[in-house]
Each structure stands twice: as C-alpha cells, then as structure tokens.
Amino acid sequence: MDIKQSQIDSLIDDVAYLEHEAEALKYVIESVPYDESPEGGRSISEILLYLDHAQQNYYRRVIEDAFKSVRPINLNAYSRPEDTFEVDEDLLKDIQKLLYKISKHRVALLNLIKNIQLIDWEREISRGKETLTLYEFVNQMVRKERSTLKEIADLVMAYQNSKQVQREMQSRNPDQ
C-alpha cells in the first residue's frame, strides 16, 4: 500500500479532532447525568474512562512498538483493552479530571503520530493471518473512537431530550 502525505495529514487532523471533542465535552458534561449507567450499558464517564484506557494501554503501545521495531509486530502479543479495563471509581467521580487526562493523553499521542515519518506508516502489523499497515491500524483506532464519541453524544442527546420532555410536561400541567 502506497501511503501519501495527504492521507497522513488527514489522519493527524482526525486524531486532533478527537482531542478537541474531549475538550468540548468539558463544557457540556455537567448538564447531564454522566455517572448514571443506562440499563445494560456503561455511563458516559465509564465510556470515557475506557476510551482513555484503550488509547494509553493498547493503541499507544502498539504505535510506539511498531515505530521502534524493525520487524512486523503481532497484535496477539498485546492484551485487548476490553480484557484489561478496570473502573477507577475515584476518577469516575471527577469527570473534569478525567476529561483533562484524556485531553493530555490525546496531545501526547498526537505528538507521537506527528513524528512518524511517511515511510514508517507502511510498517506492518499482523493479527493472526491478517496484515495491516501502521496507518491502517491508527485509522481503525480513529474510527473506533469516533464511534465511541458518537455513543456519548447519543447519550447526551437522550438525556437532554428527556429533560426537554419533562419541562414541556410541567409547563402543560403546572399543578404537578
């Protein structure tokens, strides 16, 4: 696969966008019950904590190792983030601190990615019989994180819509 500089620039923009999303959440997160878990799901704060865990303990390690290693690396040698994730109750209670950590970690990841030379993006990473480039691996990370952030945005919207319905019902029935 021939990777072009324009693809890398776009990928860097996507990684930077994810950092801006974490920053933006700081301003709206307090208006929703971020610590409440919907039935059968994770709370917003748990989702954010998982996102940070996956980035720090899986994606970043793989990216660094692929960048340093002269041989292809095998993803089977790394523990999957869903298998190693543990909830940090203290961090869940301090959502602003959690968002700050995510932002800080994102900036560090962004700097790491910016320092990878064009030729190094073609380094191979294997998963079983499948082989992908470092570029494809990071691109998959971005897609997964975007999906996770969309999940959070959907939860925020659901909470806000629920509040709106409650306000409308109260305005129609002021006796309640």
What is residue 110's DSSP assignment? H
Instruction: For residues 11-35, give the mean pLDDT.
Output: 83
Any domain includes 176: no
> Measured between alpha carbons, how far is residue 60 from residues 69, 73, 124, 137, 169 in Å?
14, 14, 16, 11, 48
pLDDT in tens, 80-116: 999 999 988 888 888 889 988 988 999 999 999 999 9
Full domain range(s) for residue 99? 5-170
Matching residue, tokens 């659901």: 158
Three-state secondary structure of 54-89: HHHHHHHHHHHHHHHCCCCEEHHHCCCHHHHCCCCH
pTM value surpassing 0.75: yes
Any domain includes 175: no
pLDDT in tens, 41-68: 888 899 999 999 999 999 999 999 998 8
Domains of the chain: total = 1
